[in-house]
Structure 1
Amino acid sequence: MRRGLRGVAAATMALAMTLGLAAPATATTGSKPPPPSEDPFYTPPDPLPPGEPGQLLDEREVEVHAEPLRLLEVPVRSWQLLYRSTSATGEANAVSGTLLVPDVEWQGEGERPLVSYAVGTHGIGDHCAPSYAMRTGTEQEVALLASALSRGWAVVVTDYEGLGTPGVHTYATGQSQGRAVLDAARAATHLEQAELTGDGPVGVLGYSQGGQSAAFAAELHPDYAPELDIVGVAPGGVPADLTDVAEFNEGGPAFGLVLGAALGLATAYPDVPFEEILTERGERTVERISEACTAELGAAAPFGTFDQYTTLDDPLSHPEWQARLAENRAGQHAPEAPLFLYHGTKDQLIPYQVGRELRDRYCELGAEVHWQPIPLAEHITGVMAGGPLAISWLDKRFAGAEPVDSC
């Protein structure tokens, strides 16, 4: 059955692609499907059967749409996927996601390209998962998804570890997010109905949390998923150094995102001290954000500081935290695929300097980087301007054009 994905035009992207600053839209048609916590599809077999990363555990065809705006429509077939992946500590896990294949034919040469799309911050509660949002018409990033689909590309969107599936989402953990992005691409090629071949060209796109995920996918690709023919990776607004980002946001209006990242990392790495160092206020706040989506997460601790929520003034200086933060610092391994790296010069959440230093590290490692500052752009306008540029850059990679190297 053919389904429709209705996106929004570029003029509405500030509403549709908040990536951390606005509440999701409200669906206006039909009855909502059950949330992931009440949907057996999201619960994997326990224990997981033997297999390799990217192996499909389950799949089903679903309807996806975007409400209330209908300024752009791209007919697609869509499936939810449940697939094997790997945690930050190397353990097998199960991750959910969505595969979208447009009716639009691929006009280029060779096989239809596949994009593994990494979403920005959606929250930590299971009901925040993009696979659920696409079914309820509340997905915030439909504009770039629709732009990719309109070119004839297939797009697979991971939910990341613990977002939809049981357990707490390992928010801001690049090591697990990067693997989930790569394994989503593998899983997409294993779905026979999608008619995607395992040797077709693959691209990776992502901004903010998705930019972190895309960057880690690029770095992990040569060793973790070398069989994927990744021709380009476009990370934007990357929180490349979580320590720097946390320090920048301490005392700021979006400190709730820092607490969310701490919860995500502590979930990924049980050896770091977290629950035992929370104050009573911290316990209440963390309990609330563990079920929060984007808007509530960002606003959970306005102008907060670590000493208000933990018994340590500087918990990130703890040796276990330092070790795990170092593992999730982007720019330590050279990607084989060329990069389109972009960042708003006035980003109020992830400082421009963090993005520029990531560029420098990649250049020093010998990576091929097209660096694109977005002048005068803060976090949201950074993706409004930079996202279409990333799509255009990836379009050239699928066409076989040589990228410009800024290094």
Structure 2
Amino acid sequence: MSVGRRAAAAAILVIGLTAAPASASTASQTGADPSAFVSDDEMPAFYTPPEQIPGERGAIIRSEPMTYYGDALHVSELPGTATRMMYTSRDRGGSPLAVTGTVIVPDEPWTGDGERPVIGYAVGTQGLADRCAPSYAGAYGIEYEVVLMRNLLDQGYALAITDYEGLGTPGPHTYMNREVEGKAVIDSVHAARNLPGSTLAADGPVAFVGYSQGGGGAASAAELSRTYAPELDVKGTFAGAVPADLEALVANIDGGFNSMFTGYTVAGMADGYGIDTDPILNDAGEQYLDDVRDSCTLDLPKYGFRPFTSLTTDGESAAELFRQQPFADVVAEQRIGERRPEAPVLVYHSALDEIVPYETGRTLARDWCDLGARVTFKTDLTPGHFPAYVAASPTVNAFLDDVFAGKTTSSSCWRL
């Protein structure tokens, strides 16, 4: 069976079994009853940061072994040794921030040239509730991104998987906040190397990989690493379905099946920048944001088909809100494509993506080209946002093979 077909089969298994109950063994790992995944009443104590957070970026605050299941029936585990961690990153103001995540290192020895590469893996949209954190959901076997994670582990790469700011840990998840997401991805790589007993080389090769929200996180890490972490030996970045233009994103999905992500984006901007939405949203709108703040991606059917015009006091759409203050400057700050990545990038986007507009990905690639970056733009024809993610593995593998081997990647700038 091909890599793509195996990935598709794995995705079906993960999604199709998400309603299955978690086992008692998983509960013992997280310190919570399995029903806690549903109720989100209280996260395990692991996710509560100490009063004093170490100042060094990537410093380990605490860690513990975990099992990262590949499906909700716990038939399979991701191939490698998994460790849940809490580490130091930076918030938007530059202050130390406690972030959780997972490190998975393949058990098989690295057989490639040099040191084992570390992938700063940026996950796609998980939700806004603490229980959506990948380091938590993975212990229950209901993390849908195991498809690409497993593929990368099979190639021998170590994964540093951030939960981002506010997923698992106290405080709001600052969804789609470009800078804090990129820094959380970068600092997860440092943290992976700082784990007690880590076998990962401090100066080994690094790449960033992500799709959807994760495409934004990986792209942001690519842009920031040159100045934020020049010590990292970044070889390249795979950024798929990047929501580089948030106004275009919400205009595309507002009122449709995927409109919950509009709510996520508005909440992420408001929570990340302290925007008071009381004068902007009506009572139904405030209730809707409260509801989606306590949801995960699997709740999508519950919160779809809600036009944002029905949630605002003046009947404005989310895109119209994003063109006005107090949102306009905040949304502009999230634009990806205004800073040049130092290492090669592969921008991957399905022409049939129903969530993140294809033209957004193409514009991002063109913007980076204009800044002098080395950009490969890959158009996929898989119908649908998530199916295109499932189909991405061969493209990811070929790109990482090339950048870790030091080969010159193809440039698409001449045709964009």
Q: TM-score scaled by structure 1?
A: 0.91
Say whether 1:53 aligns with 2:57: yes
What is the rounded CA distance, in whole Å, between the counterparts of 1:45 and 1:68 in structure 2?
31
Say whether 1:267 aligns with 2:267: no
Residue 11 of structure 1, aligned match among 8, 22, 29: 8
After superposition, the C-alpha distances for 1:327-346 in whole angstroms (9 at most, x for unaligned) are 10100000001101100101
What is the rounded CA distance, in whole Å, between the counterparts of 1:68 and 1:251 in structure 2?
31
Residue 83 of structure 2, aligned match among 73, 79, 82: 79
Q: In the superposition, relative to structure 1, how do residues 74 and 83 fare at CA in structure 2: closer, same or farther (>3 Å)?
A: closer
| Matched residue, 1:3 | none
Kept in 1, the 8 Å contact 2:69–2:78? The answer is no
2:217 maps to a residue whose letter is S
Say whether 1:293 aligns with 2:300: no
| Matched residue, 1:228 | 232
Deviation at 1:13, TM superposition (A): 4.5
What is the rounded CA distance, in whole Å, between the counterparts of 1:14 and 1:40 in structure 2?
31
Q: In the superposition, relative to structure 1, how do residues 141 and 182 fare at CA in structure 2: closer, same or farther (>3 Å)?
A: same
What is the rounded CA distance, in whole Å, between the counterparts of 2:143 and 2:398 in structure 1?
22
| Matched residue, 2:344 | 338
Kept in 1, the 8 Å contact 2:128–2:295? The answer is yes
| Matched residue, 1:323 | 329
Q: Flag structure 1 segments of 5+ consecutive residues without an equivalent.
A: 1-7
Deviation at 1:15, TM superposition (A): 2.6
Kept in 1, the 8 Å contact 2:173–2:268? The answer is yes
Q: TM-score scaled by structure 2?
A: 0.89
What is the rounded CA distance, in whole Å, between the counterparts of 1:130 and 1:90 in structure 2?
24
Residue 24 of structure 2, aligned match among 22, 30, 41: 30
Residue 304 of structure 1, aligned match among 291, 302, 306: 306
Kept in 1, the 8 Å contact 2:69–2:77? The answer is no
What is the rounded CA distance, in whole Å, between the counterparts of 1:71 and 1:107 in structure 2?
28
Kept in 2, the 8 Å contact 1:255–1:300? The answer is no
Q: In the superposition, relative to structure 1, how do residues 140 and 70 fare at CA in structure 2: closer, same or farther (>3 Å)?
A: same
Residue 253 of structure 1, aligned match among 233, 251, 257: 257
1:4-403 superposed matches below 5 A = 9-15=6-12, 24=18, 26-27=20-21, 29-31=23-25, 32=27, 33=30, 34=32, 37-49=42-54, 51-68=55-72, 75-270=79-274, 272-296=275-299, 298-312=300-314, 313=316, 314-403=320-409
Q: In the superposition, relative to structure 1, how do residues 143 and 14 fare at CA in structure 2: closer, same or farther (>3 Å)?
A: closer
What is the rounded CA distance, in whole Å, between the counterparts of 2:17 and 2:269 in structure 1?
24
Q: Percent identity?
A: 38
1:157 maps to a residue whose letter is I
Kept in 2, the 8 Å contact 1:27–1:137? The answer is no
Q: Number of matched residues?
A: 394
Q: SS of the residue aligned with 1:48?
A: coil
After superposition, the C-alpha distances for 1:138-166 in whole angstroms (9 at most, x for unaligned) are 11111211111112211111000000001
Q: In the superposition, relative to structure 1, how do residues 194 and 387 fare at CA in structure 2: closer, same or farther (>3 Å)?
A: same
| Matched residue, 1:406 | 412
What is the rounded CA distance, in whole Å, between the counterparts of 1:28 and 1:251 in structure 2?
33
Q: Which moved more, 1:9-18 or 1:382-391?
A: 9-18
Deviation at 1:192, TM superposition (A): 3.5
Kept in 2, the 8 Å contact 1:23–1:295? The answer is no
What is the rounded CA distance, in whole Å, between the counterparts of 2:22 and 2:276 in structure 1?
43
After superposition, the C-alpha distances for 1:260-297 in whole angstroms (9 at most, x for unaligned) are 11111211111x3424422111122111111101022x
Deviation at 1:76, TM superposition (A): 1.5
Q: In the superposition, relative to structure 1, how do residues 72 and 203 fare at CA in structure 2: closer, same or farther (>3 Å)?
A: farther
What is the rounded CA distance, in whole Å, between the counterparts of 2:6 and 2:109 in structure 1?
21
Deviation at 1:300, TM superposition (A): 4.6
Kept in 2, the 8 Å contact 1:57–1:84? The answer is yes
Kept in 2, the 8 Å contact 1:207–1:237? The answer is yes
What is the rounded CA distance, in whole Å, between the counterparts of 1:403 and 1:261 in structure 2?
33
What is the rounded CA distance, in whole Å, between the counterparts of 1:102 and 1:259 in structure 2?
37
What is the rounded CA distance, in whole Å, between the counterparts of 2:17 and 2:212 in structure 1?
17
Kept in 2, the 8 Å contact 1:13–1:384? The answer is no
